[in-house]
Structure 1
Amino acid sequence: MRLNEIRFTDAKPIEGYGPGFFRIGGEVIHGPVLAGPDGTLPWAGFDDDAALLALAGKVDVLFVGTGSEIAHLPVALKDSLEEAGLGIEVMASPAACRTYNILLSEGRRIALALIPVTA
């Protein structure tokens, strides 16, 4: 019996992170990043709601990593994401990376918006 791995997206797991950067698919990306079904892209942070809203209908859950510590999303951003029908889970970036990797390995329809950790 032959088993084939099935990929539903171009999403890649998070391989590592450090102060100001993430390593995804062998590439180091400095600053905030968006990872999901369309691949990995730089993200402008909480002011860039258009990139997150473009995920509506493509993912069931958007994980938002808020940096070293968990923080609240700006109310306007949270409201617009919820109105678009996106499920949102907010957590510190290290926890968001771990959760994303686990659910990605299960083939779930997810995306990840990350703010880098500080020292």
Structure 2
Amino acid sequence: MRINEIRDFDGPPVDGYGPGFFRIGGEVHRGAVLVLPTGVVAWGGYDDRETLMQAVGQLDVLFVGTGAEIAHIPSELRRALEEAGLGVEAMASAPAARTYNVLLSEGRRVGVALLPV
């Protein structure tokens, strides 16, 4: 995986989360979400590959928050994203949000797809 530093890269931070919601850039979003430099969109979960494909070309890596516990993402989904040139890292949603925030603050080209906790 290659991560490029982009000085003017910007995206909304994940400010908090709770049962079934995320607070991103000061706004509450219910359910699963995809956070990109262009903003936040609803994500239909692992079966919603098309929404995740929006990240191709915008990011070096997409963190996938798998909910309250770490889990593997479907291999077909991982393969499709990686073949399109997007690095994918799966972890529980809380650490995915924290990791995204840290790399975002460093100006990295990152995004995060989060399943609710």
TM-score by length of 1: 0.89
SS of the counterpart of 1:59?
Answer: coil
**How much is the aligned-residue C-alpha RMSD, in angstroms?**
1.1
1:50 aligns to what? 50
Distance 1:13 1:7 in 2: 15
Unpaired runs of 5+ in structure 1? Answer: 1-5
Number of positions where the alignment pairs a residue of Structure 1 with one of Structure 2:
111
1:38 aligns to what? 38
SS of the counterpart of 2:113?
Answer: strand
Q: Note the alpha carbon deviations across 1:25-76, whole angstroms, 9 max, x for none.
A: 1111000000011111111111111111121111000000000000011121
Instruction: Name the amino acid aligned to 2:17.
Output: Y
- By how many angstroms is 1:12 displaced? 0.6
| Alignment partner of 1:62 is 2:52 | no
Between Structure 1 and Structure 2, whose CA radius of gyration is higher? 1
Distance 1:40 1:7 in 2: 19
1:93 aligns to what? 93
Distance 1:108 1:8 in 2: 7
SS of the counterpart of 1:107?
Answer: coil
- By how many angstroms is 1:8 displaced? 2.3
Distance 1:60 1:84 in 2: 11
Once the two structures are superposed, the pairs formed by residues 1-119 of structure 1 within 5 Å of their partners are 7-9=8-10, 11-117=11-117
Q: Tell me which stretches of 4 or more aligned residues in structure 1 moved more than 2 Å.
A: 6-9
SS of the counterpart of 2:35?
Answer: strand
Instruction: Name the amino acid aligned to 1:67.
Output: G
- By how many angstroms is 1:85 displaced? 1.1
TM-score by length of 2: 0.90
**Percent of matched pairs sharing the same residue:** 60
